[in-house]
Amino acid sequence: MATEIGIDLGTSKTVIFSSSKVVLELPNAVTVDNDSWEPLYFGEKAKQTLGRTPDSLTCVSPIERGVIAEYDITEAMLKHYMKEAFGNKILRPQIMATLPPGLTELQHHSLANVLEAAGGRNISVIESPLAVAFGLGLDFSSPRGTLIVDIGAGTTDVAVVSLGGIAACDSFKTASLDFDAQIIRYIRREYNIEIGPLTAENIKIKIGSAVKRDIEVAMVAKGRNVFTGLPESFEISSTEVYNAIIDTVNSICDSIRKVLASTDPDLVADITADGMYLTGGGSQLFGLDEKISEYTGLKVTVLPDPEYSVVKGAAVALKHKELLKNVDYQLRSIKELEVE
């Protein structure tokens, strides 16, 4: 019976971790009725309706850039996911949930409130890079700087962790979804063909690259000709995708530089010696670790299971709240958010 769970409520998907394993991983997508705004489909089924709904229905993404945009729909979605993950074999569990760094206390409260309404208790909220630090097993008593970069769907979170707290951080609204948007724009401009976000995501996963590949690969995709309105197939190469997304890749590299520029020199010296940890679904883009290493001059270590390192770390943090003693505002949030 689940009593303690970690939840990563990301821009693109929700991941729930309990009893040392991922028990649910579903897209943050809900198909609603346009008149009543009642949810009809959740998760993968809802995601597949994106761009395919009749006029009476709309596919909604209730989380935008890591922040709750549709409170009621998010609550309904989380209730559905909790039931799908645990059925009725669950008492109100303690939850550690993650958010991008730098958000307001009100945004922390909003996430805690929606999780309480979905069936949780003693809700705690932690920044995603700090959750990753828990999962890495960093020594929270050591004044040594560690750079963590979490590239999600909606945000790139960059943080320097030291003594169990965040010494410097920022959350940038340039991330994996922007790769998809750039691919859509490129194909429209070069081929006069419109494609949807699902097709763009598929192209990114299959042949996307942050560096020019030694051996070029290509794939065939389908879309709608913008002039005739008729279906049309086209072939796109990995070099074309590289050219489409390289500006976004460079923006992510620059966001890392900006955080390093605001970090204490002694902490930067630690990072220079140890390198950085790269995680998040966006970190799996081919060659991204190589590109970031070339840009920053730092060794880059991509974490195993990068899509799950945040939620696994959140579950660890739930068992060791006392290690958050050096994060004063976080401790205040946890105290206020605990529900008896």
Q: What are 8-39's pLDDT values in tens digits?
A: 999 999 999 988 899 999 999 999 999 999 99
Give the type of residue at 83.
K
CA distance 102 to 295: 25
Cα distance between residue 7 and residue 105, in whole Å: 18
Residue 108 tokens read as: 């922390």
Separation CA 68–CA 80 (nearest Å): 17
Q: Which ranges constitute the DSSP H helices of the chain?
A: 43-47, 71-86, 105-117, 128-136, 176-191, 197-207, 238-261, 265-274, 288-296, 309-319, 328-337
Mean of all residue pLDDT scores within the chain: 89
* 43, burial (CB in 10 Å: exposed 0-12, middle 13-18, buried 19+): buried
Q: What does the pLDDT average to over 264-282?
A: 95
User: What is the per-residue pLDDT across 209-247, written as a single tens digit (0 to 9) for each?
Assistant: 999 999 999 999 999 999 999 999 999 999 999 999 999
Q: What is the pLDDT of residue 124?
A: 86
Taking alpha carbons only, the member of 93, 125, 101 closest to residue 24 is 93
Mean pLDDT of 136-141: 86
Per-residue burial over 122-157, b if 16 or more Cβ lie within 10 Å, else e, is: bbbbbbbbbbbbbbbebebeeebbbbbbbbbbbbbb
Q: Is 282:276 a contact under the CB 8 Å cutoff? A: no
| 93 compared with 196, residue with greater pLDDT | 196
Strands 30-33 and 13-18 come out as: unpaired
- The predicted model gives 205-210 an average pLDDT of 96
Q: What CA–CA distance (Å, rounded) separates 248 from 253?
A: 9
pLDDT value, residue 322:
67
The region of weakest confidence among 110-124, 164-178, 264-278, 317-331 is 317-331
- Token pair 């970190």 is found at 283
pTM over 0.85: yes
Percentage of residues in the chain having pLDDT higher than 90: 69
The order of strands in the sheet holding 90-99 is: 21-27, 13-18, 2-9, 90-99, 121-127
**pLDDT, tens only, 56-95:** 999 999 999 988 999 999 999 999 998 898 887 666 788 8
* CA-wise closest residue to 157 among 90, 262, 66, 269: 66
On the question of pLDDT at 250 being above 60, the answer is yes
For each of the domains in the chain, give its residue range(s) and CATH number, in order of start. Answer: 2-132+309-337 (3.30.420.40)
Q: In terms of pLDDT, which residue wins out, 156 or 122?
A: 156
